[in-house]
Amino acid sequence: MNDNHPASDPSMGPGQPAPSPQTVRVAMPRSTPYVTYSIIGITATIFILQLATRALTRTDIPAVFFIKSNELIRAGQVWRLLTPMFLHGSLVHIGFNMYALLSFGVGLERHFGRGRFLLLYLLGAFAGNVASFLFTDANSLGASTAIFGLLGAEGIFLIQNRKLFEGQFRNAIGNIIFIAVINLFLIGSLPGIDNWGHIGGLLGGLMFTSFAGPLYEIEGIYPAYHLVDRRSAQAVMTGAATVVLIFGGLAMWGMIR
Which residues are tagged catalytic?
A: 144, 198
Please list the alpha-helical segments (H only) found in the chain: 34-57, 61-66, 70-74, 91-112, 114-135, 144-160, 169-181, 195-212, 233-256
* Category of 121 on φ-ψ map: left (φ > 0), alpha (ψ -120 to 50) or beta: alpha
Question: Is the bond preceding residue 223 a cis peptide, omega within 30 degrees?
Answer: yes
- DSSP state, residue 192: T
If we measure between CA atoms, which residue out of 49, 119, 45 comes closest to residue 82? 119
Compute the residue count for the chain.
257
Give the DSSP H/E element, type plus range, for residue 181: helix 169-181
Which CA distances in Å does 33 have to 105, 204, 215, 218?
8, 22, 20, 23
- DSSP state, residue 79: G
